[in-house]
Structure 1
Amino acid sequence: MTFALHPDTQLGPVKLKVSNLERSIAFYQEIIGFDILRKRDQIVELTADGKETLLILEEVSSGSMYQPGTTLGLYHVAILLPERSDLGLFLKHIIDKRIEIGSADHFVSEAIYLSDPDFNGLEIYRDRPREEWTKVASGDYTMVTERIDVEGLLDSTGEDVWHGLPPQTKIGHIHLHVRDLKESQDFYKSLGFEITVGNMTNVGMLFLAAGGYHHHIGLNIWAGPNALVRSKNAVGLAYYTVMLPNQDELTDLIDHLKATGHKPVEQEIGVWVVLDPIGIEIQLTTESSKNMEEK
């Protein structure tokens, strides 16, 4: 029987390794719009609502950097804004700051792309209402890459001004450079994610999600067959979090992973760790466990 994650499963905090913590803090506060929730030693936790950790930054000793698209691992972390006007305000802010960006209309969403000082990829996006999403005959969501409506985004803001990320901001999805689509697809399906866009493998891309979302996990092989594996002390993705809605669902997932040979390890009470095929650490937890850790 196929295992599926609970429909209310979401992504939680993402941890990035950076080469210069103070430089990264300035970028994520002044450019992206986060606030500092906690800071200790070489680690800072960033928040949008003053309560919940969304992004964790840790300075690594050597901070080795790689050019984008040359290694396995992070392609981008996607930060989901609640309203179109929020994305419009972010666009205004980025224009004022003269930051180089990319952008796209994906039909299910509108997105702005940029990189942090260590070339960690970021997507800032908003979803169109789910009732506007459509599917092709295969059952895959219709997703495209077209020119974004810059004028419409800017007009959506009215007279509002940028005040940083809105409190309802969350981590929307994670997109990874992987070694082999089938290998990673099989792993993420065994984790309980379902394929939502499988008709783009001809261009080296695949999307999966829980609960009928367009994608929580993006996979691509664009870094090529000779893509490097980053060293432990290099900048990049340290881990991302999959949050189950309750302890029963987490227990079911852990039991399933053990039965299928994936060997999850309990890192601390309520937090389990499993590695994907390219060695990316995934922390499995619940909303209640995460909140207890943050107190």
Structure 2
Amino acid sequence: MTTKTILQPDTQIGLVQIRVSNLERSLTFYQNVVGLSVLRQTGREVEMTADGQNVLLILREIENARVIRPNSVAGLYHFAILVPDRPSLGLVVRNLISSGIEVGQGDHLVSEALYIQDPDNNGIEIYRDRPKSEWKYNAEGHVMMSTDPVDVDGLLAASEGLSWNGLPAGTVIGHVHFHVGNLNKAKAFYVDLLGFELTANYGSAAMFISAGGYHHHIGLNVWAGQGAPAAPADTVGIDYFTLILTNEEERNAVVERVRQAGYAVTEVNGDPTFQDPWNIGIRLVLER
């Protein structure tokens, strides 16, 4: 009997690179509304940061980019920015209110989350986690999550008297969430091949997976429809995300499994890069 290979518990999401149609417009949004700052710009690409050192988001402008109907193709549903504590999320609420942007929200039991869309309809979640000691599990050992109303008044109270200076140091990309064309195929790739573990399953509509017992590093859903095609390359959306692995041995093992499964692996700046079945890029980087 073969033992399933799983990712090391310290595995994390690193950064996300997305395609946008108008770089200047997106820069204004991500600085003023989201609270990121520019770290460096190269041509039509901009690296954005919360702490002035670590890149969380790269914006890449593409010419004549198409914005297609939401929930119509496989690809980005949202990327999720994790702030370090509840007062920080309270400040995010205050800034979003002052911006006048439409905001969705959900208390997921393990976290409190706010949802917005950028000018190209790229989905963004900004959230804070509850302590893991407060998470609950069902009989299958899966993390119990829900979508209840967020205590907005409590968030505002938690940030009373504090000043908004953008997203604070300690902010990271907590997870990514994708539309896919088939959950079984997604599970075969992300769980059986890459080594994530299933943490929650919502019938035949969505699943959540992680490394190290986190509630989820990746969400996968078929809300764009069974058999949803990959997003065309000339549309806005996600280029790739990075997986931060802890050592070279594990990275080599993941690369070997991916190659053996028939996926093409290239190197970008020394980091192995490949695509999932819906052309979502994944880059394996080492903890730095």
Q: Same fold (TM over 0.5)?
A: yes
Give the superposition deviation at 1:232. Answer: 1.1
Structure 2: 5+ residue stretches without partners: none
SS in 2 for 1:110: strand
| TM-superposed deviation, 1:234 | 1.3
Q: Is the deviation greater in 228-237 or in 108-117?
A: 228-237
1:242 has 2:246 as partner: no
Q: Secondary structure at the residue paired with 1:29?
A: helix
Pick aligned residue for 1:126 from 95, 113, 128? 128
Paired residue type of 1:116: D
Q: How is 1:5-20 mapped onto 2 (pairs within 5 angstroms)?
A: 5-20=7-22
Counterparts in 2 of 1:176-191, with a 5 A limit? 176-189=178-191, 190-191=193-194
Hey, what's the Cα distance between the residues in 1 that align with 2:154 and 2:200?
27
Report the CA distance between 1:201 and its aligned residue: 2.1
Q: Deviations over 1:72-91 (max 9, x none)?
A: 10000000000011111100
Deviations 1:110-146 (A, max 9, x none): 0000000000000000000011111000111000011
Q: Where does residue 195 of structure 1 map in the other structure?
A: 198
Q: How does 1:22-33 map to 2 (within 5 A)?
A: 22-33=24-35
- State the AA in 2 paired with 1:222: W
Is contact 2:181–2:229 with CA below 8 Å preserved after alignment? no
| CA displacement at 1:228 relative to structure 2 | 4.3
Counterpart CA distance in 1 for 2:8 and 2:41 is 33
Pairing 1:232–2:252 present:
no
1:130-209 alignment runs, 5 A limit: 130-189=132-191, 190-198=193-201, 200-202=202-204, 204-209=205-210
* Identical-residue share of aligned pairs (%): 45
Aligned to 1:274: 274
Deviations 1:220-263 (A, max 9, x none): 00011363432212111011111101222212322333344444
- Kindly provide the CA deviation profile for residues 68-111 of structure 1, in whole angstroms up to 9, marking residues without a partner as x: 11111000000000001111110011111111010000000000
What is the letter of the counterpart of residue 255 of structure 1?
E
Q: Determine if contact 2:229/2:278 at 8 Å carries over to the other structure.
A: no
Task: Give the Cα separation in 1 of the matches to 2:226 and 2:137.
Answer: 31
Structure 1 window deviating more from structure 2 (112-121 vs 249-258): it is 249-258
User: Residues of 2 paired with 1:149 and 1:188: CA distance?
Assistant: 34
SS in 2 for 1:67: coil
Tell whether 2:42 aligns with 1:34: no
- Deviating beyond 6 angstroms after TM superposition, the runs of 4 or more aligned structure 1 residues are none
Name the TM-score, length of structure 2 as normaliser.
Answer: 0.96
Shift of 1:279: 1.4
User: Distance in 1 between the 2:136 and 2:226 partners?
Assistant: 33
Tell me the C-alpha RMSD between the 2 structures.
1.2
Question: Residue type matched to 2:58 in 1?
Answer: I
Aligned residues: 285
Partner secondary structure for residue 13 of structure 2:
strand
- The answer to whether the 8 Å contact 2:49/2:55 transfers is yes
Give unmatched runs, 5+ long, in structure 1.
289-295
